[in-house]
Structure 1
Amino acid sequence: MPHTDTPHLGQILTVQQMRDAEQALIDAGSSVDALMQIAGRGAADWIWRLSAHRRVTVLCGPGNNGGDGYVIAEAIRERGGHAEVVAPTEPKTDAAKNARALFGGEVLAPDAEAHGDVLVDCLFGSGLTRPLNEEHFALLTRLAGHHRHLVAVDLPSGIQSDSGMLLNEALPHYDLTIALGAWKFAHYLMPAAAKMGRMQLIPIGVDPVEGAAMALQAPVVRAPAPDSHKYRRGLLAVVGGHMPGAALLAAVAAQGAGAGYVKLFAESKRNAPADLVVETGSLNEVLTDDRNSAVLVGPGLGRDGTARERLAVALADPVTAVVDADALVLLSPRSLAERKGETIATPHEGELVALERSFELDGAGSRPDRALALARASGMVVVAKGPDTVIAAPDGRLACAPRATSWLSTAGTGDVLAGVIASRAATGLSAFDAACEGVWLHGEAAHLCGPAFTAGQLAAKVPEALAGHL
């Protein structure tokens, strides 16, 4: 994983893992009430900044998420702000009851006409497994319509934490979501993540959880050693095919992502920039070069007999192989049977389904479940790419990428991603780390582009994205 000074703050926990982590804190001498105060007051800091002394309405449910809401409302009231609570039901847990008793402000009935600038949703948290009932859903949507800004505490109500699925349709869109204790999968998975707006984490002292997924962190990229040369920095071989433009695009992106030497195998040098080496000879000669550090195959490859042959030759090279696009459709367990190097697969949803069929997987479960199942069955690092990209390793490591700009939804950006990942692998990183760094740099390059860019413009921003993490 990329470096962070506090890696455990990037962990992503399931509902059960979060419950166990909180229980561990309680067993160590804390209490539910103490943790609620830490979480609620930490959330109140962010809400106070957003509200800027304007009116705040806190919607409190019956459980501990509602208890967090009472703490938030009291913390704002203590600062001299105006915070009122709307509660459709009385608190049902001891900690929520205690937080309600400590709140010195007004608690309104659900039929009250509450208006304000900020609505804080503390109706239900990460433990929700069924849709909001008609009464609660109507209350949430009515209050959302009467406030300018919406804040969700832990998760928006009506979302399943572990899968990121919407339990109710037409849920509001939030300006800010404040995660409590640790990130949850729904913070990173679609369609839930699209509802959450900006996200902040409030730590409560949770220890690292063994085997937890991680939120992708910004990498720390190191400059080449003073005595480096092009081969020491890494030689990447890119295999072209039926549509030469895709492989050319991937190769250009790879040039800016750290590899010292990118060599494209293609049938023609047409349209290639002067600084890109293009080999038009035998693919066997290109891929038996013992100076190769990594190979990329798939962009524009095609799916005919020639394409199958090129894939087989590429996979015979005992270096890290990045397999993308058409090559993923041709890939099978037999293709990998004699692989000596690591393999990274970069499927979009349709290609992920095709791989699941090839490896006799049922495709059940959440996106992380599916990526992990494929990684374990195939032995590959799997980059399940899309608006909620997930990276899974055969040993069970799992990383979720932050939301990237939706302007990435344009032709050719997947070829750029494959080139960037392959380039990072060529520098000597492990397959998992190369995938993580490549996904991050790809997203960063997209942010640097601004709106409405082409894949070529995205590739041109990769060096700037890399420079930002030296």
Structure 2
Amino acid sequence: MRGSDSVLTVAEMRAAEQALIDGGTSVDELMQRAGRGAAEWVWRIASGRPVTVLCGPGNNGGDGYVIAQVLHERGLDVVVVAPIEPRTDAARNARGLYRGGMATSGEGRRGAVLVDCLFGSGLTRPLSDDLLALLGGLAASHGQAVAVDLPSGVESDSGAQLNDGLPRYDLTLALGAWKFAHWTMPSSAAMGARRLIDIGIGDIGAAASLSARPRFEPPAPDAHKYRRGLLAVVGGAMPGAALLAAQAAMRAGAGNVRLLADHSHPATPAALVVSDARLDEALGDERIGAVLAGPGLGRDDAAKARLAAALARGGPLVLDAEALGLLERQVFTRETLATPHEGELAKLCETYGISAQGKRAQARALAEASGLTVLAKGPDTVLCAPDGRVRLFAPGPSWLSAAGTGDVLAGIAASRMATGLPAFEAAEQAVWLQHEAARIAGAAFIADELAHAVKPAYARFL
């Protein structure tokens, strides 16, 4: 894992900074690195226009004084609004080096860019009413807003908004490493673009990281349809969802996709093989590289029997939709991916007796308790492995909030697993493929269009 990919808790970030300090880098030098790196972004955005920097009492406020001094040296109209005096040595030192304008309130101050350095990643309590009003007023009187490290009023580890009515930002500048709040709803929705400022923190062996864009390889010169991977999709009472998953899977890398269903459907594409053989016999094909069960499965006794057959087969398995609601508590020792939305994740946690709160904590606890690789999907997607690895993702297009897109995601992930990838890597690639397909499909797409867009999306990763 590259250091820049790491997503750190507050405690991990403090430990990483302390390691730099123990190695001879002073707190003041770290503040200069952070502030000067952030100032470069503010300088570009301001484009010569007035800037207001809101500074709090801690080291995040100290970063703000450094930013303001850089902009002052470059001739910008910059004013620091500091409602509270600095309370750390480094912040006081940075304040002492600042030579520009100062104010204790935002009264009458207007400008092009507000830089929020009021509070950073250590905040765990709501902003006071007066500070919330100050922040909101300044945001309203400036054309753009930039948050340094995190927007004030956001809890770093959970992504919770500690106050109602927090402003929205055009840009958030993470200092040193990503924090969980940068990629976790609801706070991430208000952060605008996100950029990382390097202050010298390397790879500290963190369990969590931001997913990096994958690269695919074309089939080997001697490949054939079975060597590329045979995926079996277990159909059920509602054929549409299974067909969606199969159509996406056909375009996501597997050489052969087979729908195991009692009957075909008028919308079944000619290239999709439909087998109406007894399910246990159909699943006995040793060439099958992975099985997908869940989309359109239903919840009746027949669905339970079909799920039981998929579970009994062995080998790589993807569980989605109705399969997750029917699943009984067990421990998985083979490569098995579960792709729950938030409601299905809550039901699985109930099944496994997990009391954790929040999507990431629930997904991680479920993976550890069940042996499942858990892809908890939604506007903020998190991937957790049984060994403790965690991946977070940049958000996909909001048009993905439509019926059937989860079936498409499951089909993509199952296709990647059928090619021989482990569940964790297959799921990670599936998220990227789904997001790219959504961009290609454009606005107001339906799931069928998303499934067809998987093909050009795949080409972009070669």
Question: TM-score with structure 2 length normalisation?
Answer: 0.98
Q: Distance in 2 between matches of 1:122 and 1:350?
A: 37
Partner AA of 1:282 in structure 2: R
Partner of 1:418: 410
Q: Trace 1:363-378 onto structure 2 (pairs within 5 A).
A: 364-378=356-370
Partner of 1:146: 141
Q: Distance in 2 between matches of 1:205 and 1:463?
A: 40
The answer as to whether partners of 2:57 and 2:87 remain within 8 angstroms in 1 is: yes
Q: Secondary structure at the match of 1:295?
A: strand
Q: 1:348 is matched with which residue: 328, 341, 351?
A: 341
1:260 aligns with 2:255: yes
1:82 aligns with 2:96: no
Residues 382-429 of structure 1, C-alpha deviations (whole Å, 9 max, x = no match): 011111111000000001111111111000000000001101111111
Partner of 1:121: 116
Partner AA of 2:413 in structure 1: I
Q: Distance in 1 between matches of 2:350 and 2:38?
A: 44
Question: How far does residue 469 in structure 1 lie from its aligned partner after superposition?
Answer: 1.1
Partner of 1:293: 289
Question: How far does residue 7 in structure 1 lie from its aligned partner after superposition?
Answer: 2.1
Q: Distance in 1 between matches of 2:167 and 2:206?
A: 33
Q: Distance in 1 between matches of 2:260 and 2:306?
A: 10
Q: 1:180 is matched with which residue: 175, 178, 189?
A: 175
Question: How far does residue 340 in structure 1 lie from its aligned partner after superposition?
Answer: 5.7
Q: Secondary structure at the match of 1:26?
A: helix
Aligned-residue Cα RMSD (Å) equals: 1.1
Residues 317-365 of structure 1, C-alpha deviations (whole Å, 9 max, x = no match): 222100000000000124x5xx563110001011011101111111x23
Q: Trace 1:245-324 onto structure 2 (pairs within 5 A).
A: 245-270=240-265, 271-324=267-320
Question: How far does residue 142 in structure 1 lie from its aligned partner after superposition?
Answer: 0.4
Partner AA of 1:427 in structure 2: T
Partner of 1:467: 459
Q: Distance in 1 between matches of 2:362 and 2:334?
A: 23
Question: How far does residue 211 in structure 1 lie from its aligned partner after superposition?
Answer: 3.5
Question: How far does residue 212 in structure 1 lie from its aligned partner after superposition?
Answer: 2.7
Partner of 2:445: 453
Partner of 2:371: 379
Partner AA of 1:360 in structure 2: G
Q: Trace 1:4-15 onto structure 2 (pairs within 5 A).
A: 7-15=2-10
Q: Distance in 2 between matches of 1:379 and 1:125?
A: 36
Q: Distance in 2 between matches of 1:379 and 1:220?
A: 27
Partner AA of 1:416 in structure 2: V
Q: Secondary structure at the match of 1:232?
A: coil
Q: Distance in 2 between matches of 1:83 and 1:468?
A: 43
Q: Distance in 1 between matches of 2:391 and 2:67?
A: 31
Q: 1:16 is matched with which residue: 11, 21, 30?
A: 11
Question: How far does residue 35 in structure 1 lie from its aligned partner after superposition?
Answer: 0.7
Q: Which runs of 5+ in 2 are unaligned?
A: none
1:224 aligns with 2:219: yes
The answer as to whether partners of 2:181 and 2:188 remain within 8 angstroms in 1 is: yes
The answer as to whether partners of 1:318 and 1:340 remain within 8 angstroms in 2 is: no
Partner AA of 2:454 in structure 1: V
Question: How far does residue 445 in structure 1 lie from its aligned partner after superposition?
Answer: 1.2
Q: Distance in 2 between matches of 1:187 and 1:36?
A: 20
Question: TM-score with structure 1 length normalisation?
Answer: 0.96
Q: Distance in 2 between matches of 1:35 and 1:134?
A: 31
Residue 109 and residue 211 in structure 1: after superposition, are their counterparts in 2 closer, same or farther (change >3 A)? Answer: closer
1:96 aligns with 2:91: yes
Q: Distance in 2 between matches of 1:27 and 1:254?
A: 51
Partner AA of 2:13 in structure 1: M
The answer as to whether partners of 1:155 and 1:178 remain within 8 angstroms in 2 is: yes
Partner of 2:125: 130
Question: How far does residue 163 in structure 1 lie from its aligned partner after superposition?
Answer: 0.2
- Could you list the structure 1 runs, at least 4 aligned residues long, displaced by more than 4 angstroms after superposition: none
The answer as to whether partners of 2:342 and 2:376 remain within 8 angstroms in 1 is: yes
Partner of 2:50: 55
Q: Secondary structure at the match of 1:230?
A: coil
Q: Distance in 2 between matches of 1:140 and 1:273?
A: 56
Question: How far does residue 367 in structure 1 lie from its aligned partner after superposition?
Answer: 2.1
More divergent stretch after superposition (185-194 vs 262-271): 262-271
